[in-house]
Amino acid sequence: MHTNTGFPADFLWGGAAAANQFEGAYNVDGKGLTVQDVTPKGGFGHITDGPTPDNLKLEGIDFYHRYKDDVKLFAEMGFKVFRTSIAWSRIFPNGDETEPNEAGLQFYDDLFDELLAHNIEPLITLSHYETPLHLSKTYDGWVNRKMIDFYENYVRTVFNRYKGKVKYWLTFNEINSILHAPFMSGGISTSPDKLSQKDLYQAVHHELVASALATKIGHEIMPEAKIGCMVLAMPTYPLTSNPDDIIAVMEAERKNYFFSDVHVRGTYPGYMKRYFAENNIELDVTAEDLEILKNTVDFISFSYYMSTTETADESKREKGAGNILGGVQNPYLEASEWGWQIDPKGLRVVLNDFWDRYQKPLFIVENGLGAIDKLEEDADGNLTVNDDYRIDYLSSHLSQVKEAIKDGVELMGYTSWGCIDLVSASTAEMKKRYGFIYVDRNNDGSGTLNRYKKKSFDWYKNVIASNGEDL
């Protein structure tokens, strides 16, 4: 018997970003506004009436005008894949038009051509936290069934346009995050305190149907393409061995598994039917919806930043500062500067859990450390960042990925999050940096936008060159 000892020969190494966090050019070439243009303080902050100067995402890191130089840097690191997203409102500025905006389509043609010229495969997210603002304001985002038709029109347009160029597609970014950030994730303009569970899960249902529909259409238009779902992965540990804590963990994990279960199995799981019944949530689900849901994904992609811990004991529920998604703090783990608990072994756990549950190829499309970086001179007088903490973080996570591959997990690739510094999604800061490439832009908007290679740049280049042997 052959055992897997390391990363497969065709492993897709690369990096990941999102249109709304790094492109900038928010009103250029006919682009419409999105939910990001009115959330200057990030996904959990207040919503403004229109774009405001303190919103760093409006300019991002100006990837829109600098992508050729940035792609060259990605190629220098040896990227085999680059994950980014198409800004829906570049293609359909309001989201509900019938005819697309040609300038927006052309931008992505040019970007994908540039990537392919450097032998980098585009991995494209169709909707990454950038619902067109008009769809949010006019239809309350995904609460409205009409969104499925608007999304279908958008998806058909880009699949037909890029079918020869893009082989790997993701339908929605962190689709399960709608439970925690309904405006950013689902374009839902009803405020969370007024949003009923029924409307929230109706929005979830519409997204799941839209995702399955995109998978169906994608397979028809591009038979050779691979289409995946994308979920926020969060392994959950019991605080104690009390069976009540184990049940609490099971229930917490199912809130996330629900999304991948539907994507992979094509039906609603029994535990969700129970949850809906016990919470008087009656969804509008048609026979056609159920038929569409049977179009299951080719692979499961996910983000992994942290694990969480659960308990049934209310008196022990001490929240971690960075546990934006609930849970309690794990006494055995350290935390990042933003309070996110660092748990490399949790990544091995997640990989094995998903593999055991689904037996479908997996793809880690986000993983990384947000940290405050200091630009300083190296021995040769070049500006760099000595980010050994980032190297340690990524190296320890990739070591666990290697363990999971030895366990028999089938893994397609790894794209580290924010491979070039960008505006953070949760807080909309520049100072929470993830990249191998430093971008000179500060939280107050000042800076030259010049790019500098961090110490981790050469480290990652070496990891890719050695196919993960040299961590």
Of the chain, the end-to-end C-alpha distance in Å amounts to 27
Tokens of 415: 């794209």
Cβ pair 15, 74 in contact under 8 A:
yes
Cβ pair 405, 71 in contact under 8 A:
no
Residue type, 463: V
Cβ pair 129, 170 in contact under 8 A:
no
DSSP bridge pairs for 439: 451
Contacts for 25 with CB less than 8 Å, ≥ 6 apart: 31, 59, 60, 62, 64, 65
DSSP bridge pairs for 275: none
Structure-token match 């999971």, residue found: 404
- Residue-wise DSSP of 187-229: ---S-TTT--HHHHHHHHHHHHHHHHHHHHHHHHH-TT-EEEE
Contacts for 73 with CB less than 8 Å, ≥ 6 apart: 420, 437, 451, 453, 457
Tokens of 167: 């082989």
Give the C-alpha separation, 376 to 384, whole Å: 5
Give the C-alpha separation, 385 to 381, whole Å: 12
Give the C-alpha separation, 209 to 152, whole Å: 10
- The CB density around residue 135, as the number of other CB atoms within 10 Å, is 27
Cβ pair 342, 333 in contact under 8 A:
yes
- Residue-wise DSSP of 303-316: EES--EEE-S-GGG
Give the C-alpha separation, 308 to 239, whole Å: 10
Residue type, 314: E
Cβ pair 277, 311 in contact under 8 A:
no
Give the C-alpha separation, 177 to 173, whole Å: 8
Residues with a known catalytic role: 366
Contacts for 257 with CB less than 8 Å, ≥ 6 apart: 269, 357
Tokens of 52: 């405001």
